[in-house]
Every structure is written in C-alpha cells, then in structure tokens.
Chain A
Amino acid sequence: DADVTQTPRNRITKTGKRIMLECSQTKGHDRMYWYRQDPGLGLQLIYYSFDVKDINKGEISDGYSVSRQAQAKFSLSLESAIPNQTALYFCATSDTTSGGTTTGELFFGEGSRLTVL
C-alpha cells in the first residue's frame, strides 16, 4: 500500500461545483502539503500544514481551502471550481528532524487529476 494515498485519482466536474480531494498518510509525518502541477510550470504550493492546528497559505491559495482533520489526513477543497483549476494535484508529507528543521525531502502521493469543464 502507498504511504501517501490520494482520492480520487481522477475527477471530471463542472464549473461551479464543490470538489474535495483527500489525502491520507501512514508515514507518521507531521507536515503535509498540497501542490498543483501544470504543464511547463512545475509544482506550485497551494497550502501546507505543520501539524493539526497549523494551516498556512502557499503561493497559489486563492480559490482553495484545506482541512487538517487529523495528523494523517489533509484535504483540499475547491469551493466553486473553475476551468483554470484543471490540473494535477499532489499531496506530500515531510518529517521534522530533532533539530526542528525538516529533512527537505517530500514524499508525494500518486496525484489527483482534476478536470473542470
């Protein structure tokens, strides 16, 4: 089983619909992230969470919201989907070293492909 699991893997929806992408992890990491990947633009950070009570905006948070339901679960919502949110979305996790800084290594899920018509 994958350490970082995303659902759904593929979703087609219509403009204006509310969409939730879910992420769960079994790695025991405290930090979780949502990234968006568009062709030719690399990975852009949407939101990140360092623990259950900590939520932070990333580079492109407009139009998105998140919820950290538990250490192992981090969901991304599009309240009213629009076509330019068509993209591949990745959840990732990382650990915190004993020194308080991260290793830098992110562990990614398999991705959720979202198409907004």
Chain B
Amino acid sequence: GESVGLHLPTLSVQEGDNSIINCAYSNSASDYFIWYKQESGKGPQFIIDIRSNMDKRQGQRVTVLLNKTVKHLSLQIAATQPGDSAVYFCAENTFRLGFQKLVFGTGTRLLVSP
C-alpha cells in the first residue's frame, strides 16, 4: 500500500545547528518526492524536490537525500535559524496514467531555539 510516514513528530534544535528530518515511504513505484514547509497560519510552501533517479539534491541551505534501497528520504537544513521553525512535510508523487497523485506525510515540527 501507499504510506508516507515520519520518524519523529517534533525535532528541537539550537540555532546554528544542522537539522535532519526523516521520512519513510512504502511505494517503490514513486518517482518524485517533495518537501514542503508549513509555517503557522500559512499554507505549505515548496522547499525542494528530488526525482528517483537521483540520490541527492542541494538547494540553499537545504539538502534532500534519497535512499531507494530502504525507501527513506531526508531533509537536511544547514545552520538552522529561528525562521526555519515550522512543520515539514514530505510528499510522494506518483505518476499514473498521466496524472500525479501526491501522498503527504503527517509532518514533523521543527523547533529552533535561539
């Protein structure tokens, strides 16, 4: 079946530390994964994505790692800042018959202390 889960519901870090948010997925046919950030009172915002033919992709202060062998996805945030405090969702994007289906995880709350 399809499921996208997160190992930790809440992650607390100190400002300046690196943060790692993990996500497990079960659909080996999924070919595209996305991380979203949701701040309080706002809608989810795209952070970074990765296709299944890649193992790693880097953005500004963020890196996504994909391990297809164990069906694991992680989001690394370098030098975490208070503004990074939010709920982070991974989403699994599966193309079937020409359209996408996004399956979202339940989210991990990142708390950054000054």
B:22-53 near A, CB below 8 Å: 32, 34, 41-46, 49
Question: A40-B106, A111-B42, A111-B43 are contacts. A102–B49 as well, Cβ < 8 Å?
Answer: no
Asked if A105 is at the interface (CB within 8 A of a chain B CB), the reply is yes
Q: How many residues of A contact B (CB 8 A)?
A: 22
The reply to whether A43 and B89 contact each other, CB–CB distance below 8 Å, is yes
Let me know if A108 is at the binding interface, CB within 8 A: yes
The answer to whether B99 and A108 touch across the interface, beta carbons within 8 angstroms, is: no
Contact of B89 among A42, A94, A102 (CB under 8 A): A42
Specify which of A40, A50, A105, A111 is in contact with B99 (CB 8 Å cutoff). A50
Minimum CB–CB distance from B86 to chain A (whole Å) comes to 13
CB pair B104 A108 closer than 8 Å = no
**A19 contacts partner chain B, Cβ-Cβ < 8 Å:** no
- Asked if A42 and B42 make an inter-chain contact with CB atoms under 8 angstroms apart, the answer reads no
Chain B residue contacts of A42, Cβ below 8 A: 4, 89, 104-107
The answer to whether A108 touches B102 (Cβ under 8 A) is no
Question: What residues of chain B lie closer than 8 Å to A101, measured between beta carbons?
Answer: 95, 98, 100
Q: Closest CB-CB distance, B43 to chain A, in whole Å?
A: 3
Asked if A104 and B49 sit within 8 Å, CB to CB, the answer is yes
Q: Which residues of B contact A102 (CB under 8 A)?
A: 99-100
Q: Does B93 contact A (CB under 8 A)?
A: yes
Residues of B within 8 A of A106 (CB): 44, 46, 102
* Pair A104/B34 contact, Cβ less than 8 Å: yes
Contact of A41 among B95, B99, B106 (CB under 8 A): B106
B100 and A43 contacting across the interface, CB-CB below 8 Å: no
Contacts of B100 in A (CB 8 A): 94, 101-102, 104
Residue in chain B with minimal CB distance to A110: B43
Minimum distance in angstroms from B46 CB to a CB of chain A:
5
| CB < 8 Å neighbour of A45 from B4, B32, B41, B102 | B102
Apart from the given pairs A104-B34, A105-B46, A110-B41, 5 other A-B contacts in the complex at a CB distance below 8 Å = A42-B105, A45-B101, A106-B46, A107-B46, A111-B43
List B residues at the A interface (Cβ < 8 Å).
Answer: 4, 32, 34, 41-46, 49, 89, 93, 95, 98-102, 104-107
6 A-B pairs whose Cβ atoms sit less than 8 Å apart in the complex: A92-B43, A104-B102, A106-B46, A106-B102, A108-B45, A111-B43
